């Protein structure tokens, strides 16, 4: 296993939709293992393959410390209900967190690391983590889903960072997505 470098905004790979995994083989299983190690080292609660520069529809997560590590290959959210808004951050956009509306409950269909199809129901924080990572697979970042005024603030801070200027950070509760 290996710790992979995490791509940081504005890396263009973060904006590209990931390709479907046609065959779950040893290379995909190695990617999953490397992503688990990278996510835990970060530390984070979720990681999508584009965040490590791999344009495949693979994500890993562990919403809570007591939960098992989970891998979703070719995930598709088939049902969503309710709404929740909580702060989110991102390993690819370090140091920022903003309130993001998400579905409160979801059903996701995916393949496991053995290539077996399954469905999983998730709610609240786990549902938020999955939705955040599925967005990454579609080239969507959480800042795309926030209030327009907050989005302008986030983009200003990110521009200033890119220019090497120290920008004041919003004082919000951080998330490890």
Catalytic residue among 133, 149, 160, 173: 133
> What tens-digit pLDDT sequence spans the chain (177 residues)?
899 999 999 999 999 999 999 999 999 999 999 999 999 999 999 999 999 999 999 999 999 999 999 999 999 999 999 999 999 999 999 999 999 999 999 999 999 999 999 999 999 999 999 999 999 999 999 999 999 999 999 999 999 988 886 545 554 445 566
Rounded to 5°, the CA angle 20-21-27 comes to: 150
Active site includes 133? yes
CATH class of domain segment(s) 12-143: alpha beta
Which residues is 3 bridged to in the sheet?
none
Structure tokens at 148: 């327009």
Domain positions in the chain are 12-143
Collapsed DSSP state (helix, strand, coil) of residue 30: helix
């Amino acid at each position: 296993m290996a710790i992979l470098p995490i791509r940081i905004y504005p890396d263009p790979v973060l904006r590209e939709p990931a390709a479907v995994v046609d065959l779950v083989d040893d290379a995909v299983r190695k990617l999953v293992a490397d992503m688990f190690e990278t996510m835990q080292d970060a530390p984070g609660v979720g990681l999508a393959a584009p965040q490590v520069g791999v344009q495949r529809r693979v994500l890993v997560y562990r919403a809570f410390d007591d939960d098992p590590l989970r891998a979703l290959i070719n995930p598709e959210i088939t049902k969503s209900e309710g709404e929740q808004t909580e702060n989110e951050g991102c390993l690819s956009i370090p140091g920022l967190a903003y309130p993001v509306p998400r579905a409160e409950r979801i059903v996701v269909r995916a393949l496991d690391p053995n290539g077996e199809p399954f469905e999983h129901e998730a709610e609240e924080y786990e549902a938020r983590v999955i939705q955040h990572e599925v967005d990454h697979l579609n080239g969507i970042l959480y800042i795309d889903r926030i209030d327009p005024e907050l989005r302008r603030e986030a983009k200003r801070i990110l521009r200033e960072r890119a220019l090497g200027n120290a920008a004041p950070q919003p004082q919000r509760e951080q998330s490890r997505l």
